[in-house]
Amino acid sequence: MKTNENARVLVTGATGYIGGRLIPELLERGFRVRVLVRDRTRIEGRPWAASVEVFEGDLLAPGTLGPALEGVDAAYYLVHSMYGGKGYGERDRSAAENFVSAAGTLRHVVYLGGLFPDTEKVSGHLSSRREVGEILRRGLPATEFRAGPIIGSGSASFEMVRYLTERLPVMVAPRWINNRVQPIYVGDVLAYLLGALEKGPSGVIDIGADSLTFREMMLGYARARGLRRRIITVPVLAPALAALWVGLVTPISNSLAVPLIEGVIHPVVGDTKRARGLFPGITPLPFAESVERALSLVLEGKTETRWSGSLGGETDYAITERQGLITERRTMRVNASPDRVFSVFTSLGGEKGWLVWNGMWKLRGLIDRLTGGPGLRRGRRDPGELLPGEACDFWRVEEVSRPGILRLRADMKLPGKAWLEWRAIPEGTGTRLVQDALFAPTGLWGVIYWKSVYPAHRLIFNGMIRAIASEAESSSSKKSDPH
């Protein structure tokens, strides 16, 4: 490979947990870095954004890949559908095949996959990740690292262990938490990924620290935090049911909890002999030390990337939790001006209602009145204007600024504090509409309450953002119609 200063490296998955940490490391070593993203606005504000070449493209749109791969010496393939959804296996397969077809004479692709259990019954997610590796290795000179749970500030595996252990003094868990797994510190993953460029295509390499059980991972976290925890195992607990429990207790969504749990229901321990032979300078940190480092960064507020950073699609949706604040975020691109979008979301409430599921809004207002809250009876002062501090049904205007933002604070009776916020952000010829439902729970009951209403939120808030977008686009179209 060329010297670092002359070598051009492409990173796919640049907005993801690993990609967002790998890029500054590559830049620091003098590589010329190029990133492939579906929307260049997704990397705005990142400290390395001005130091990389940005190409817009989609692995599922093969015609967009050629320019990004032209003149590239090596590439990192850090994309997979951890969040599932119908047809995720086919999407992963098509994306990998499209990449191979467009890569041409690429000399080296580096892929981060997952360790594979020695069993016939393997989850669809793990099978898909293995298939992607096979496609890349079959079509290109490749290095495929296979890793178990990645431990680092903001990683999904670390967040799951952290919140389960922090919130549950006594845990009832399935007996498969006694299966052995092989976690690895995120810094060690980055070291292997960087080392691969110097080593060249090396095939499949299992990586990881010493193995331990998932029970030992949780108890190890508890020791690091000075917590006393008790874990009681039961004979059966289906992975789907366990995922629902993880989704209730932790900020990890059910869709992500499923593949995480499927990764530990069977023993998953790799053979790291090749890793030790090829990379003798890398000694993976023990789990206890990995936890200490991750916790230190979390407590200092220095989490560089987070598991939720790569969530997205036509309508983006993410649930995050930081410093006690739970955020349900939905975003959508709207073919209307920010001012038009702002006019729609600032007209909600009162006689107009909330665009969708108004019966459920009225029921929630009735429950609030019965428990001593204001309910919906206050309405709003003006159908088209909101001012800071005034009431809007059972909300109060905390901030409003045209054409950018409206934030409402809940006056209803809740086990915590809640806000509903919209932002209209210019994006090309249209607008990126961001809709946040935020909640700061009071105690465990507050967490349970908020997560128990997720199904209702999915119906109401998904419908609401689409209705706001539709009304803004409709009114914008009518306004521009000369007839």
Which pLDDT belongs to residue 164?
86
Which pLDDT belongs to residue 5?
67
By C-alpha distance, which of 85, 34, 86, 37 is closest to 59? 37
Which pLDDT belongs to residue 256?
67
The verdict on whether omega for the bond into residue 403 sits within 30 degrees of 0, i.e. cis, is yes
Which pLDDT belongs to residue 82?
58
User: Which residue has better confidence, 297 or 237?
Assistant: 297
Which pLDDT belongs to residue 86?
59
Which pLDDT belongs to residue 85?
52
Average pLDDT in the 352-368 region?
Answer: 87
Residue 70 has pLDDT above 50, yes or no: yes
Paired tokens of 41 = 């606005």
Which pLDDT belongs to residue 312?
42
Comparing 80-302 with 315-480, is the CATH topology the same?
no
Which pLDDT belongs to residue 409?
94
pLDDT in tens, 109-141: 999 999 988 777 777 778 888 999 999 999 999
Least confident window among 71-85, 94-108, 240-254, 381-395: 240-254
Which pLDDT belongs to residue 269?
92
Residue 450 has pLDDT above 50, yes or no: yes
Least confident window among 35-49, 194-208, 325-339: 35-49
pLDDT in tens, 190-234: 999 999 999 999 999 999 999 999 899 999 999 999 999 999 888
Hey, how many other C-beta atoms are within 10 angstroms of the C-beta on 197?
Answer: 20
Which pLDDT belongs to residue 315?
46
Which pLDDT belongs to residue 238?
67
By C-alpha distance, which of 322, 342, 325, 326 is closest to 334? 342
For the chain, what percent of residues have pLDDT higher than 70? 89
pLDDT in tens, 258-308: 777 776 777 889 999 999 999 999 999 999 999 999 999 887 777 787 765
By C-alpha distance, which of 232, 37, 256 is closest to 155? 256
DSSP 410: E
Sequence-distant (6+) residues with CB within 8 A of 101 are 62, 139
Which pLDDT belongs to residue 424?
93
Which pLDDT belongs to residue 320?
73
The angle, 0 to 180 degrees and rounded to 10, between the axes of the packed helices 287-299 and 156-167 is 80
Name, of 104-108, 143-147, 318-322, the range with top average pLDDT: 143-147
Name, of 81-90, 254-263, 414-423, the range with top average pLDDT: 414-423
Residue 482 has pLDDT above 60, yes or no: no
Sequence-distant (6+) residues with CB within 8 A of 356 are 460, 463, 464, 467
Which pLDDT belongs to residue 478?
56
CATH class, range 315-480: alpha beta
Which pLDDT belongs to residue 372?
80
Residue 342 has pLDDT above 80, yes or no: yes
Which pLDDT belongs to residue 483?
44
Contacts 24+ apart (CB under 8 A), 402-411: 402/339, 402/342, 402/346, 403/337, 403/338, 403/339, 403/341, 403/342, 404/338, 404/342, 406/342, 406/345, 406/346, 411/373, 411/374
Given a contact cutoff of 8 angstroms between Cβ atoms, the answer to whether 68 and 36 are in contact is yes
Residue 250 has pLDDT above 80, yes or no: no
- In whole angstroms, what is the distance from residue 142 CA to residue 138 CA? 8
Question: Taking the domains of the chain in order of start, what are their residue ranges?
Answer: 80-302, 315-480
Which pLDDT belongs to residue 230?
93
Residue 87 has pLDDT above 90, yes or no: no
User: Which residue has better confidence, 154 or 475?
Assistant: 154
Q: What is the CATH number of domain 80-302?
A: 3.40.50.720
Residue 160 has pLDDT above 90, yes or no: no
**Which one-letter amino acid corresponds to residue 372?**
G
